[in-house]
Amino acid sequence: MVSIAILARLLSPSEFGIVAMAGSVVALIEVLAAFGFDWALMRVPQRTRAHYDTAWTLRVLCGLAIFVVLAAVAYPAAIYFRQPAVTAIVVAMGANGVIGSLENIGVVDFRLQMRFDREFRLRTAGKIVGILVSVGWALATRSYWALILGVTASKLAGTLLSYVMHDFRARWDLSQAAVLLNFSIWLMIGNVADVMSSRFADLWLGRNLGSARVGLYSMASELSTLATTEFAAPINRAVYTRYLEMADDIPRLREAFMRVSGVIWAIGFPAALGLGVCAHQIVALLLGSQWHDAASVLQVLAAAGVISISAANTHYVYWALGKSKFVTILSLVGTVGFVVLTVLLGRRFGLIGVAIAQVLALSLVVTVNFVALLRTLELRASELLRRNYRVVVASVLMATAASWIGARVTQAGVTGAAPQLAAMVGSGALVYCLSLLGLWSVLRRPVGPEQQLIDIVYRILGRASGKHSSDDLGIL
């Protein structure tokens, strides 16, 4: 968010849009080889050196193949978007992919061994280097190349550090390709659908409305998914290893899913909903006045963020059970729905129409998802709702309070985005905590995420004081 706040003031929406256009082309090509070999490797019961070597070899081959294809389609992509700059950006992004494919496959052990402290250091170091390069280049040149070179620096730093942090050294080997591809092929097809769904907006907007509209939409979309990408995703990476251990015990897996999803809902729901309520203040404070039109798009996409949070943990259950084919089907359904709705609504309502299309398509997918999940885990919808409905009620009360406070502050003559946001976030957080814990106490502390959140806070405080060893923080 710090990086976004700085770069959004140094670069224009049009420059972000040009990079997003090129990024959509790169994503569509890269996903054709996005087999997820690290996830496939984790599913192998008896991993040998040959499995690690094969996973690394396949990943490097895919990275090189993608670079060649991107170099070939770069110029036609520039013609499609009517943006000559897209050519060089696509080629540069392809080179970044090659660098990333060389990362030490041995770092998969960090997840397998639940050493997330090491993975945190690895990923954070790369991000910090990328931010420094991006911001530095933007300050010096005011060029969109800051966005690309930041990714280059991040991937290079992450790849080099992966060999420093883990002593595994891969050899060229394809002997276990069939084993890894058996799981990965469906993951790849699902990734194709997901990327097509997420990037079709850039392709359609770039062709029909221009780079500035693409920049506005891509920024609003990125902000709307913060609750999922920055909170739910790390938890899912952590619990996937445990889900694999529980795959043969449905009752245990069911209980684990409810516990994990409860924590994700309890923090993700108010975060996603709050982004929509405070959209105008967030855009003004974080991005600046030139991004004003992104606020209305963010308000609509916040609904998509709430829906995504509700299903954020489900795919990892399916993958643990070997049902990657079903995840792929879900993705395909969502993609088809989004493409059709984008063309229909985008032509009539522009950016807002595309945002509405995303919300509607996601609603369809999540509905089908939960119907199947309840059967898979032999779970009653009433049980899931009984555990988590207090989170929904408290989130709605929070949003109502924050909105009311925002209106009162504005009427009182406070015009600055910072004090408005501070008042809305402060009051909203207070109302949410009091509502959630109040309902929980009045109802005599039923099973749900409230006790887990309290336990997690105590464990974190205990670890900070040296009283507890590293564990899963009580989520499972």
pLDDT at 140 (0 to 100): 93
| Amino acid code (one letter) for 442 | V
pLDDT at 470 (0 to 100): 47
- The Cα 287–Cα 389 span in angstroms is 34
- The Cα 316–Cα 138 span in angstroms is 38
- The Cα 378–Cα 320 span in angstroms is 16
List the structure tokens of 277: 């309520």
Beta-carbon contacts of residue 258 (< 8 Å; ≥ 6 apart): 379, 383, 384, 387
Indicate if the alpha-carbon torsion angle 9, 15, 19, 21 is positive or negative. positive
**Residues 314 and 330: beta-carbon distance below 8 Å:** no
pLDDT at 183 (0 to 100): 62
- The Cα 224–Cα 362 span in angstroms is 14
pLDDT at 157 (0 to 100): 95
The H or E element containing residue 402 is helix 381-411
Q: Which residue in this structure is represented by tokens 């040149």?
A: 141
pLDDT at 191 (0 to 100): 66
pLDDT per residue as tens, the chain (476 positions): 778 888 888 888 889 899 988 988 887 776 655 556 777 787 777 888 999 999 899 889 988 988 999 999 999 999 988 889 999 999 999 999 899 999 999 988 887 887 878 888 888 899 899 999 999 999 999 899 999 999 999 999 999 999 999 999 999 998 888 877 766 666 666 666 666 667 778 878 888 888 888 888 888 988 888 877 777 877 887 788 889 889 889 999 999 999 999 999 999 999 999 999 999 999 999 888 889 889 999 999 999 999 989 888 898 899 888 887 888 888 888 888 988 999 999 988 888 999 999 999 999 999 999 999 999 999 999 999 999 999 999 999 999 999 999 999 988 888 889 999 999 999 999 999 999 999 999 999 998 899 888 888 888 777 766 655 444 545 66
- The Cα 168–Cα 52 span in angstroms is 9
Beta-carbon contacts of residue 403 (< 8 Å; ≥ 6 apart): 277, 424
pLDDT at 420 (0 to 100): 94
- The Cα 99–Cα 153 span in angstroms is 10
- Measured from the Cβ of residue 207, the count of other Cβ atoms closer than 10 Å reads 13
- The Cα 401–Cα 424 span in angstroms is 8
| Amino acid code (one letter) for 33 | A
DSSP assignment, residue 292?
Answer: T
**Residues 349 and 334: beta-carbon distance below 8 Å:** no
Annotated domain spans of the chain: 1-208, 210-476
pTM for this model (two decimals): 0.76
pLDDT at 45 (0 to 100): 76
> Of 244, 259, 249, 247, nearest to 383 (Cα)?
259
